[in-house]
Structure 1
């Protein structure tokens, strides 16, 4: 269905300049296309990646001014101007992104406002850019001998770029790097635990969004044949963001919908309101703002998701990504020999100011065993997990893990490096991407098992050169889902699953990391009795395959019947260690936690 809509849209847009369409409509169509290109970048950056930017208009200005200067002052071809503009924009975006993307919360949008204003005043104060008068006499684009010297002739090129951008972004988002980008909005902790370099991925999408804005600026300069700083100020940056948000910031087609609606609305308000209220004030800005507030109250996710919900009453839901029934198997790491120490915690300590959360913990986990880490609420169990997986740094002590046949210190490594060594994990509070399918959530766990690096992976995804890799990753995700009993739900939205099923989903995602050691934080919480039995049977099968499991759990029946050994914590300190039966009878454990279990 989506492909049919896409085809209808292409045909409709292609016919506009061919038919005897009024020139005014062509002009509106051109501007909608130019705005859509910028809004598509904001869909990737803000809607998908969760990074708010008010400064995209400045990158539009970089593209426009680069080509304007080179074509007017040096007589270079506009196509060379485009190439140079893209290089300048990429360099600027890398430099700005390396600083700005480190910010979080309200500091990030404030940071984008700061550099947007800086570039705007730079355009207006440099002599060779014509200061606030700008640059005139920009030559038209020559496309294979066709001189695009009018809006009607430029129309086709503008919308060709829009459609190319749509296809490239959809290819990217339905790929391994795309899943990593979507994971940014779900919080960095989960993404890093799956092997995603979140800091670098933020810069990548920032640069992509800037390059799209640059292309829009290049087209604008050669459409208008003149540039000045006015269209590249902060107001324009805010309007671009509104277009993405109103259309549906998390959806590619929402960028075009929002650009169309806001462009048409703004044009109508500028025509109607002066006739009603007089031309002494900019009343359209007030009405524009009120309408936006009302719209966002009714459809907080934008209009495109609302249209999708309406369409589902008549049209079946089609998954964006399908799992193959067969594909090449992903390589698997060799498991350590049974009985070898795979994890060694040596006097690990974690202090938060004056609070000691983990107090000189010491224990080890052996290959092919299931070990439980238990204790009352607040004992420090989840903090211990976070120390092992690199979410938190140790204050002092050592944590070693067996990788490449020998124990190596991992306490100084980041989460994404630790998972590469062979440690997979789940979380105490479920962390998943609710709007993505169950299959895609699980495939995120295989992020590090792709053959392409971060930059090469993004480039390959744009052109669909990674299909073999994608098939292998999705097939493994399907296999893990069937392994844990969620195979029939693979195309459902992860947020629609019950809590217990979401916890099982997290286990499947961790298994996709191909771990030697699996850390499970309260995996049985929210499960019914039969589901707990199925989980216990799954963990025993994993143990038989050579997998080591370290789990935190409050269900004592589940723990006592499953684990080979137990470590008991209280107030961050180990108070007992041994076989389940021994721990049950330990006086300190009975007093602190188990309450006198016989």
Structure 2
């Protein structure tokens, strides 16, 4: 057992021992609320911190869980445990409807939309007669577990913290999985994730629904712990409080949810006592202090407070490296390989207009299996736009793209990736907080199947071993095996570009597309990259290489397509292209 697991076991023992110790009842009450808040904040860690989707509406889902169970148990005498099941069904249904409306938004529209439906649900709960309007629902029955009545704060404490710690373990397991890597990829923009075959909208919905389910669970516990509910506990201001707790603790950290909830609850209690003494009279002075604290944290600790605690822990309890337990795993399945000379890619008169600007004008070329084709041209020639048209990042204005005999134009990039076309990016796209190995394993997404529940229940471990075996094999293939445990964000530009190539190779492509892989590299880094591409060519890999550095690709390519001002200038062998006066004019501005 590594040191982190030992520390977690000690934490569980400390939490379990708390109600047995002779501590004041107020401590137990505060710990209960900290546990309830942390469950909701865990959903925000996943949704906002990891997936990058800011939500102010989590309190509304807490209210759905609380009110659904409270109403059913008081009006119909339904068991609170069945009430939890019904509340989950209601919450997931509402979350799916709201997700379909709001998650296609981006920028500031998404958080504004979460505010609006948060307010809508709050006022709906506040104005329904059968829910007691602003008075809410009273005399909610408590919980019983195996005949043991959870009547006091101490007896409820065990259930709250059992669920809170189980939720934390579940979220941590989820993030360390195929589905978790897909959710992490949402925060860096959807282009890279879609290029790896990931349906980014589907994973946004999954993160949204999981966060709603955690909030619902917290609300159910809250209703039967408090034995009364009213709308004020689920207002927009409470939704802001949950987000505040998560940001203060560490919006990207599982344990930040607990530290943020604890700090906020303790500060709230202490400030409500101290501030009136300092300023005299009664008032919500703590809100002013909380605002100042939030501004200070956003400025000086934008990742929250937990990362600082984590650095201290790493000095005293350094985490063990991921054990290399995948050596005996079986290899992932591979797709059928094209026969040498088979027509892989056929680009037919593709055209792209942005309003009145024609960026790509009826460009045609083809690639056969085993070839390396260079797509060259000076800056602004339309190379990357053509590249994005081929890979589905941009829609065509006209023309067709055929891949292995099937039309792929009009298909989203994730579908094109699933067919065996993989790419890198002009500007390296990676997840800097993950290791090199995990970044490359993301490329194996379409070759694996485990979902959220398998990850939470740890039923995905064999598939994970197979993914890491494949990622290690691809890193060894490009000469980066010694850096598999390095954080990707620590890599220099040259190794980062090689890592992107390894990630693309992990998809088992029939055609590899490289978008200016030599851009920004020093001479020796270009030499290393060239050697990798020669090795891939020797292994039979087909490559489309988009570049503006003619010298770099001359010794690598079989044929070169040169573009200028969005049109195809010439196509031929490297020697023919070098000898072309038109190419010299395009690059040097003169034919002489």
Q: Same fold (TM over 0.5)?
A: yes
Q: Which of 232, 236, 239 in structure 2 is aligned with 1:237?
A: 239
What residue number does 1:205 align with? 207
Counterpart position of 2:147: 145
Which deviates the most, 249-258 or 325-334? 325-334
**Structure 1 residue 320, shift from structure 2 partner:** 5.9
Q: CA deviation at 1:235?
A: 0.8
1:542 is matched with 536
- Structure 1 stretch displaced more, 72-81 or 289-298: 289-298
Q: For the Cα contact (< 8 Å) 1:335–1:547, is it kept in 2? A: no
The answer on 1:469 being equivalent to 2:469 is no
**Is it true that 1:570 corresponds to 2:564 in the alignment?**
yes
- How far has the Cα of 1:492 moved from its partner? 1.1
State the 1:319 CA deviation.
Answer: 4.1
Helix, strand or coil at the partner of 1:159: helix
Is the deviation greater in 486-495 or in 78-87? 486-495
Deviation of 1:311 (Å): 3.7
Q: How far apart are 1:325 and its partner, in Å?
A: 2.7
Are 2:484 and 1:482 aligned? no
| Deviation >6 Å, runs of 4+ | 595-598
Instruction: Give the drift of 1:252.
Output: 0.4
Report Cα offsets for 1:534-570 as digits up to 9, x if no partner: 3323223322333210001233222111100000000
Corresponding residue for 1:278? 280
Q: Quick one: distance in 1 between partners of 2:443 and 2:352?
A: 28
Q: TM-score, normalised by structure 2?
A: 0.97
Deviations 1:298-348 (A, max 9, x none): 211001112223444444354468562331100111221111210000000
Decide which moves more: 314-323 or 469-478: 314-323
Question: Kindly tell me: are residues 540 and 115 of structure 1, through their superposed partners in 2, closer, same or farther at Cα, counting changes over 3 Å?
Answer: same
* Selected match of 1:389 from 383, 388, 391: 391
Distance 2:58 2:324 in 1: 34
Q: Which residue of 1 aligns with 2:270?
A: 268
Q: What's the CA shift string for 1:12-54, capped at 9, x where partnerless?
A: 1111111112100000000000000000000000000000000
Give the superposition deviation at 1:275.
2.0
- CA drift at 1:9: 1.1
Higher mean displacement: 198-207 or 529-538: 529-538
Question: How many pairs align?
Answer: 590
TM-score if structure 1 supplies the norm length?
0.96
Single out whichever of 127-136 and 310-319 deviates more from structure 2: 310-319
Alignment deviations for residues 178-232 of structure 1 (CA, whole Å, 9 cap, x no partner): 0000000010001100111001110110000000000000000000001111100
User: Is the CA contact (8 Å cut-off) linking 1:584 and 1:597 kept in structure 2?
Assistant: no
Query: Are 1:18 and 2:17 an aligned pair?
Result: no
Change (3 A) 1:156 1:320: farther
Q: 2:350 aligns with which of 348, 351, 364?
A: 348
Q: Cα RMSD between the aligned structures? A: 1.5
Secondary structure in 1 aligned to 2:555? helix
Offset at residue 596 of structure 1 (A): 7.9
Within the alignment, does 1:523 sit opposite 2:522 as a pair? no
Does the Cα contact within 8 Å between 1:323 and 1:478 map onto a contact in 2? no
Tell me if structure 2 keeps the 8 A contact 1:349–1:397: yes
Matched residue SS, 2:20: coil
Q: 1:64 aligns with which of 66, 86, 89?
A: 66
Name stretches of at least 5 consecutive residues in structure 2 with no aligned partner: none
Between the aligned partners of 1:29 and 1:15, the Cα distance in structure 2 is: 13
Helix, strand or coil: the match of 1:316?
coil
CA spacing shift, 1:30–1:542, aligned 2, 3 Å: same
- Please point out which of 184, 189, 192 is paired with 1:190: 192
Q: CA deviation at 1:277?
A: 1.7
- The answer as to whether partners of 1:323 and 1:474 remain within 8 angstroms in 2 is no
Write the deviation string for residues 376-417 of structure 1: whole angstroms up to 9, x where unpaired. Answer: 000000001100110000000000000xxxx11111100100
Rounded to whole Å, the distance in 2 between the matches of 1:195 and 1:40 is 27
